[in-house]
Structure 1
Amino acid sequence: MPMPTHQLELPALYGSSPLGFLAALGTLHLTTHILDEAPRLSWRGPDAPAVLHTHHPLTHQTLADLLTTQLPAQPNKGPLAVAPGILDQSRHPEPGSPNDPLQMPIDEALTRLRGHAKAERDHDDNRAHWFTSLINTLSLTPGKADKGAPRKTKGPPRGTLYTRTTPYFGRSGQMTLPNNWTKAAQHCLENPTHLHAALTRWQRVDDYAGANLDHLSTGDAHMVSHGKATQQGVPGATWLALHGFTAFRLTGNTNRPQATSWDTSNHAFTWPIWHPPHTATTLTTLLEHPDARTQTPNPTRLHNLGITALYTAPRARLPYGDGPLEPGRRITLKLDGPRHVKPRRHTRPHRSQK
């Protein structure tokens, strides 16, 4: 496949921002679904915007118009247009079931997954991929009715076990993945400029919470002109970022959920910025590489992977649930070898010591 020859810089999608990074991934995955030839994504450098590489020239407006075609016609009935049937389902009726309908009984989840997997084999359907990037069938949680109940026997807990969802969605209050997707899509349908602004210059909307991907969306009183605390999310960037969740594989071992680029020990998102353009497929390999997920990176190994910087953003913890991702912080590169050690006489110095 020939390399794309056209480049479009996306000035609002900075790699140092968790929301900007995820929105760039969402843009890549959506355009992969739309365009005949696979686009690629790279970055101008650390603390710099994303660049979309395509085989045909695009402007910000034509790209925004293409993305608009992927908005659902009726967000409250089917919020995820590229994979119908994943988000448009009701909360499980069993007492004690989680509020989010994507946290479903494990037996039901496995039945759905088998159906999606068969459709993928038979018809190249993409819903199995979306299902497994949003719903974790490898890590379970008991229903509310089962929590705190006395254990009378040894062995696994009794009662219904429910699936978990991706950790990239921070749940607080009555938030669910489907209603966050719905609200972002509704804003973009009501105001078509939101997707163009997501790529070029963000427009914050009063009383829109976002999906806990951006610390500025919390809208503290000192950050807004009218001096009153209000939520100020970015609907276009949030809608794109939600589609970026599909880049991260969900794994686990029953009660310990795992996800690509997510550090469960401190609830933090760690991500790389790279220079060589990547397709959605090759990007998955890069994100899952151990050197792209470490808090103690080796600069030589990162250079060999084409990675120019690593960032991390922990999730704020609130009394009533998850808070937003904090601002991205660039991880300091570990020195490649003991630079303070002088080479012995009559020996050539190691490359890292020159």
Structure 2
Amino acid sequence: MSQVKFPALIGESPLAILAAIGTFRLIHDFVDDDARLSWDPNDRAPVLHSRLATVDAVVEELSEIVAEMPEDVVVPGAPPSFPRQKVGTKGSDPMRAEQGRLNGLAGSFSEDAAQISTVRDWIASLLTDLVHDDEGKCAISQFMAPSGQQTMFSMLRKPLCVVQTDPEHLYRALVGWRRVEGVTGEFLDHRAVWSAAEDPNGEAQKMRGVPGATWLALMSYPAWTTTATGSHPRTSGWHAVGRPPVQELRLPLWWEPLGPRAVKALVEHPVLEGKGEEKRLDADALRLLGIFHVCRARRRKAERSKSKSAGVLVPVS
């Protein structure tokens, strides 16, 4: 089994970590089911353990996965009808089923067993009917922070279109990021926000995200599950911290090569909940699990923003 390191995905931001896990998930599910993922403690870069010997070989396989997707499909292995698209510009996301109607949703997209399994994984990640919003709609994943007319379909479709137009974005995602004007980062990338403070002329500009990394990060979503705690949704990796409680994402880096189920178990492990009112992490307990670093991030809304979005993910020290 070969070991391939991705130097651009240093585990110091949620986008990079999720992109590494998304890459690993795609290789495991479509190329090599013996693939494993670890992180180098020296530079915090992810290491893919698989039959693929080089970064170029990994990119070739990822590019083939994208190329083999039918034109009307936005998720590898899913039917063209998933996720449901909005008709017109008004109304809520058509994927937001009413509470109590989520259970049979997966089977409504396809009769193919493999496609139904793929859809179920995505739905379990993106939605939960254990809690609902003011309109009685199923709550969404904490990894999502939709703004305006964004839907699950548009969230998945837009980064894919950029990658399909230029597959070189996949190579850049793993080796050296290049930001592209107009790419939002799907609220996972705080550096994509280009405000007047960053602009030499003091003028607000379009967002500048990393399309390949963004798409790969989205491909990690089926690895997670959205359930609920109390009256609030809770997605794998998210924790309520402090008083009043603030939602914080905690993603670990580990040194032992792990498969998909072990990665999910580690991200959801109770040790990442922390102890005390501030939910402080226990370094010794983390070390026993093979965790050498935890990336923490919280949502930040733009100043004076009228958007209902939860805001962009920003790493915290």
What is the TM-score normalised by the length of structure 1? 0.77
Residue 66 (1) aligns with residue 61 (2): yes
Question: Greater Rg, structure 1 or structure 2?
Answer: 1
Q: In structure 1, what is the equivalent of residue 85 of structure 2? A: 90
Superposition deviation, residue 274 in structure 1? 0.6
User: Which SS does the other structure have where 2:265 is aligned?
Assistant: helix
Q: In structure 2, what is the equivalent of residue 244 of structure 1? A: 220
Residue 177 (1) aligns with residue 152 (2): yes
* 1:113-153 residue CA offsets vs partner (Å, 9 max, x unmatched): 46689965x9983321222111222221232xxxxxxxxxx
User: Which SS does the other structure have where 2:173 is aligned?
Assistant: helix
Q: In structure 2, what is the equivalent of residue 297 of structure 1? A: 281
Q: Unpaired runs of 5+ in structure 2?
A: none
Q: In structure 2, what is the equivalent of residue 199 of structure 1? A: 174
Q: How does 1:1-354 map to 2 (within 5 A)?
A: 5-45=1-41, 48-54=44-50, 56-71=51-66, 72-74=69-71, 77-84=72-79, 87-91=82-86, 98=92, 100-113=93-106, 125-143=117-135, 161-223=136-198, 228-230=203-205, 231-252=207-228, 255-264=231-240, 265-294=245-274, 295-318=279-302, 319=305, 320=307, 321-329=309-317
User: Which SS does the other structure have where 2:294 is aligned?
Assistant: strand
Seen in structure 2, the aligned counterparts of structure 1 residues 101 and 278 have a Cα distance that, compared at 3 Å, is same
User: Which SS does the other structure have where 1:13 is aligned?
Assistant: coil
Amino acid at match of 2:239: D
CA contact (8 A) 1:275 1:307 kept: yes
User: Which SS does the other structure have where 1:263 is aligned?
Assistant: strand
Q: Unpaired runs of 5+ in structure 1?
A: 144-160, 330-354
Instruction: Tell me the distance in 2 between the aligned counterparts of 1:124 and 1:101.
Output: 18
Superposition deviation, residue 217 in structure 1? 0.3
Superposition deviation, residue 286 in structure 1? 1.1
* 1:199-241 residue CA offsets vs partner (Å, 9 max, x unmatched): 0001100122120001100012454577643210111000000
Amino acid at match of 1:314: R
Superposition deviation, residue 304 in structure 1? 1.1
Instruction: Tell me the distance in 1 between the aligned counterparts of 2:227 and 2:263.
Output: 18
Q: CA RMSD in A?
A: 2.7
Amino acid at match of 2:247: H
Instruction: Tell me the distance in 2 between the aligned counterparts of 1:274 and 1:254.
Output: 30
Task: Tell me how many residue pairs correspond in the alignment.
Answer: 301
* 1:136-195 residue CA offsets vs partner (Å, 9 max, x unmatched): 22221232xxxxxxxxxxxxxxxxx21122110122222222112111001001111100
* 1:281-325 residue CA offsets vs partner (Å, 9 max, x unmatched): 111111111013424122221111000012211110243122211
Instruction: Tell me the distance in 2 between the aligned counterparts of 1:201 and 1:233.
Output: 13
What is the TM-score normalised by the length of structure 2? 0.86
Superposition deviation, residue 27 in structure 1? 0.6
* 1:249-285 residue CA offsets vs partner (Å, 9 max, x unmatched): 1111573211111124313211111110111111111
Q: Tell me which moved more, 221-230 or 274-283.
A: 221-230
Q: Tell me which moved more, 290-299 or 165-174.
A: 290-299
Amino acid at match of 2:45: P
Q: Tell me which moved more, 278-287 or 233-242.
A: 278-287
